[in-house]
A = this chain, B = another copy of it.
Amino acid sequence: MSFDKELEKKAEETEEIIRNYLPKEEGYQKTVIEAMNYSILAGGKRLRPMLAGETYRMFGGSGKLAEPFMAAIEMVHTYSLIHDDLPCMDNDEYRRGRKTAHVVYGEGMAVLAGDGLLNFAFETAVKAFSLAKNEEEMKRAADALAVFAGKAGIYGMIGGQAADIEAEDRKEEVTEEKLIFIHEHKTAALIQSSMMTGAILAGASREEIKKIEKCAYNIGIAFQIQDDILDVTGSLEKLGKQAGSDEKNKKATYVKLKGLEQAKKDADSLSKEAIAIISSFRDRNTFLEELIRYLITREK
């Protein structure tokens, strides 16, 4: 099967898993649940849960143990978009061609829908405990939950968000160290969460989990540098936004800090290292390797 076909098939399977875990739109709290589902069903490639599921498979995982985490990761990703889009944050009225949650449901309800999804991510991940077949799997679920929680919070995604909005508010010059901090936390942390929880649930060793953490870090940073490069070189058609918009927004970017050539070199070497790591394990998952290549060499 071609990679494109396989990606499509895996995306459908992942979509199915996510839908299985969504709450029913009923009861006096129906509206907030509608707002949650509206946002999570707005589309998206489901790349994070797919990375979780494929890493789980690579380390020999079978059965449904990873599924609650796959759904939970997409919930965390979605809640962060809802809160990001709020008027007091990025103030975006559209995302993926649809009106954002606060435009449709009002700001108060959008705050609650984001809270609801973050909380429901944990309600969902906790369901892995009832799928655990033995004490060993219970322990893995507990370890995965700790990583999942950590990478989503102030030492993960929220930490990156906070540093980012603060830097923008203060219009301060962002150092390379700080820019990498923001990319690592805002973007790489959820990719780490995805791949690490997959590895942990499948019973990967401590050393293997460390390698997966590094691999996912590289993917996240390379992805962001690529984004900065495309902003300079990309065309409106391919990118769906005006090229050069970062420059107009005075946003600190990796390209601005290091120059276009160095940025390309760095993205390339981070990508190569990520691929080298993921190909280094005893059992390989060629779809996962291609998926990672796809993620970091995209042209839009």
Contacts and interface: CB of A to CB of B under 8 A. Distances in A.
B106 A32 contact: no
Quick one: which of A29, A129, A165, A178 has the most chain B CB within 10 A?
Answer: A29
A162 B119 contact: no
Interface string A157-192: 011111101100100000000100110010000000
Given A107-B88, A162-B109, A152 B114 contact: no
Nearest to A127: B146
Contacts of A232: none
A81 interface: no
A123 interface: yes
Interface stretch (A134-142, A203-211, A265-273): A134-142
* Interface of A, helix, strand, loop or mixed by DSSP: helix
B88 A154 contact: no
Contacts of A57: none
A178 B28 contact: yes
Interface residues of A, number: 57
Contacts of A119: 118, 149, 152-154, 158
A36 interface: yes
Interface in A269-300: none
A86 interface: yes
Given A83-B115, A89-B111, A165-B108, A129 B146 contact: yes
A114 to B, nearest CB: 7
B106 A123 contact: no
A217 interface: no
A116 interface: yes
8 contacts: A29-B160, A29-B162, A33-B154, A88-B107, A88-B108, A89-B108, A119-B154, A142-B142
Nearest 7 A/B pairs, CB to CB:
A88-B107, A32-B162, A29-B159, A119-B153, A129-B142, A28-B163, A123-B149
Given A109-B166, A116-B153, A122-B149, 20 more contacts: A28-B163, A28-B178, A29-B158, A29-B185, A31-B166, A32-B158, A32-B162, A83-B112, A89-B108, A111-B111, A115-B115, A115-B118, A115-B158, A118-B119, A119-B149, A119-B158, A120-B154, A138-B139, A142-B142, A145-B145
